Amino acid sequence: MRRFVSYGPIDKDLHYFAPRKELIGRAYAQLVGENPQKSGHYITVWAPRQTGKTWVMQEAVQKIKKMNDYEVGIFSIGSVKKEKNEKEVISAFVEKLSEVFQKEFPSLKKIRHTPTLFTKKYFQKPVILIIDEFDSLEEDFINDFANIFREIFSSRSNEIDKKSKDKTHLLHGLALVGVRSVLGIENVTGSPFNVQRSLHIPNLTYEEVDGMFKWYEKESRQTVEKDAIDQLFYETNGQPGLTGWFGELLTETYNKEKAKAITMDNFEEVHAAAVKILPNNNILNIISKANKEPYKQTVLELFKTDRKIEFTYDNTKLNYLYMNGVIDREKENRIEYYVKFSCPFVQKRLFNYFSSELFPSMGRLYEPFESLDDTITETHLDIKNLVKLYQTYLKKNREWLLKDAPRRRDLRIYEAVYHFNLYSYLNEFLRPQGGRVFPEFPTGNGKIDLIVTYAGNRYGIELKSYVDERNYRESRQKAAKYGKQLELSEIFLVFFVESVDDKSRKTYEVDYPDKETGVKVIPIFVETGN
């Protein structure tokens, strides 16, 4: 029986997998070319980590080998990613060639001598080569290899009257595989490798994820309820590594009663463990990238709720975060693209990480003899009074609490910091009382909600920054719609604002019964005193 796997290339005999025939076919077609008698293409294959790049290319290699018209090799160059010496890098490259093609190649001292290897002296057929982890090399070596590959491609293109097997250099097709579009925006000197095409490896579709679980059901005779699959896909957005990890947790680690169906209850247990206690190399890598300057500033900015951030591939920070699986792009209409987090699970892990990093200690939440009867009882939680309690706490402790908080260029504290702080406060307040608070991000950008459970009741809190009256009205309507989705009769809308006078508070802190949804929206203002 197969199993789900989240690390390394898929073994089709051992693991569940999505066939991805169309994607493999595209890789095959690019390497072989429209007219195989002439030449294939030199391409870059890119996607964030743990998306199945290597496996797709391995499958393309197997398909090409069946033709028996090419000598095909695939290897990783990641072993010399920290190497600064050119001789060591080219030596490793030659060793890899010898290993995969089972040929003896001469030692080279310079990368510029590489073209001599792809000649009739060493190959009898056209060559197709895939180099994995190519972008892990030092930038200078990437450029040097790219220049050489460009020269080889140009040389072959100039021999237009010859068939591929008769050309001076026999490198028919080339794929450079990495987490970023090699020699793209990060190469400040401009790309010398302007002959390459690009193949992006996308996330799995819902149908592909569902198909793997249907496969599991057939082999194991254990049902996986549709709600659990739907939620898994929503949380991971089909990211292959995370999909495999959740599949492993659901069907193995937390699958204690295999005679029963895997349900939403099982998924919620797995999800809570994945968010709070379980290590995962994919997620740890994403967090390390998001926490690295100068990208950390951009990530904090992405948690803002007053407006979306436009996505442009030319923005070096967004490019880096996109290629490392922190963010994704969202097409809102025919011509507009915006940034969103790559999936809800990643956003939750980042939210939890920054909350605990910035506020490892919250100090005293309220005075020792302060009565909380108007805030919490054994059966009820008054969210409005709880937020007011937080407001008092923030004013009293703001100086030390936010002393080292990250700030924007205008020296204002990032909006997200207050969201992290309120979440940390509610979490610390509710946990001893048997309550829980969960961050939710329904859209992946511009929207943060906190779901509170206590004494069998559920409460919804939407967090916003106050911008102006128009935004205030729109926010109330959107909050009402979200409250209806949550099947709540009321929802709390917390606005963070630098300052608010008593008159404005009296005017705007008024319950709003939405006629369309029937949900009551309760606005609450929290002064940040920024």
Q: Which of 4-18, 60-74, 355-369, 452-466 has the lowest mean pLDDT?
A: 4-18
* Closest listed residue to residue 492, CA positions, set 482, 502, 500: 482
Across the chain, mean pLDDT equals: 91
Contacts of 257 (CB under 8 A, 6+ apart): none
**CATH architecture type of domain 21-200:** 3-Layer(aba) Sandwich (3.40)
Taking 60 as the threshold, does the pLDDT of residue 195 lie above it? no
Model confidence band, residue 335 (pLDDT cutoffs 50, 70, 90): confident
What is the Cα–Cα distance from 470 to 176, expressed in whole angstroms?
Answer: 50
Q: In the chain, what are the domain boundaries?
A: 21-200, 206-278, 288-527
Model confidence band, residue 186 (pLDDT cutoffs 50, 70, 90): very low
Torsion of CA 262, 263, 266, 267, to 10 degrees: 110
H helix or E strand, kind and range, residue 439:
strand 436-440
What is the Cα–Cα distance from 115 to 387, expressed in whole angstroms?
Answer: 68
Taking 50 as the threshold, does the pLDDT of residue 184 lie above it? no
319 token code pair: 């490019």
The predicted model gives 487-494 an average pLDDT of: 96
Taking 90 as the threshold, does the pLDDT of residue 13 lie above it? yes
Taking 60 as the threshold, does the pLDDT of residue 45 lie above it? yes
What is the Cα–Cα distance from 529 to 496, expressed in whole angstroms?
Answer: 10
The predicted model gives 29-38 an average pLDDT of: 93
Model confidence band, residue 309 (pLDDT cutoffs 50, 70, 90): confident
Question: Rounded to a whole number, what is the distance in angstroms from the first to the last CA of the chain?
Answer: 59
67-94: pLDDT as tens digits: 999 999 999 998 998 899 999 999 999 9
pLDDT for 316 equals: 86
pLDDT for 410 equals: 87
219-273: pLDDT as tens digits: 999 999 999 999 999 999 999 999 999 999 999 999 999 999 999 999 999 999 9
3-class DSSP state of 464 = strand
Taking 70 as the threshold, does the pLDDT of residue 183 lie above it? no
Taking 50 as the threshold, does the pLDDT of residue 185 lie above it? no
Taking 70 as the threshold, does the pLDDT of residue 191 lie above it? no
Taking 80 as the threshold, does the pLDDT of residue 180 lie above it? no
DSSP 272-283: HHHHHT---HHH
The more confident residue out of 282 and 427 is 427
449-481: pLDDT as tens digits: 999 999 999 999 999 999 999 999 999 999 999
What is the Cα–Cα distance from 222 to 214, expressed in whole angstroms?
Answer: 10
What is the Cα–Cα distance from 17 to 11, expressed in whole angstroms?
Answer: 9
459 and 381 in contact (C-beta within 8 Å)?
yes
pLDDT for 80 equals: 92
Model confidence band, residue 529 (pLDDT cutoffs 50, 70, 90): confident
The predicted model gives 123-152 an average pLDDT of: 93
Model confidence band, residue 446 (pLDDT cutoffs 50, 70, 90): low
Look up the pTM and report it: 0.88
pLDDT for 266 equals: 97
DSSP 99-137: HHHT------S-GGGGGGGSSTTT-SS-EEEEEETGGGS
pLDDT for 319 equals: 85
The predicted model gives 122-130 an average pLDDT of: 97
The predicted model gives 55-76 an average pLDDT of: 95
Taking 60 as the threshold, does the pLDDT of residue 188 lie above it? no
Q: Which of 247-251, 404-408, 439-443, 495-499 has the lowest mean pLDDT?
A: 439-443
Torsion of CA 43, 44, 45, 49, to 10 degrees: 170
Share of the chain above pLDDT 70, in %: 96
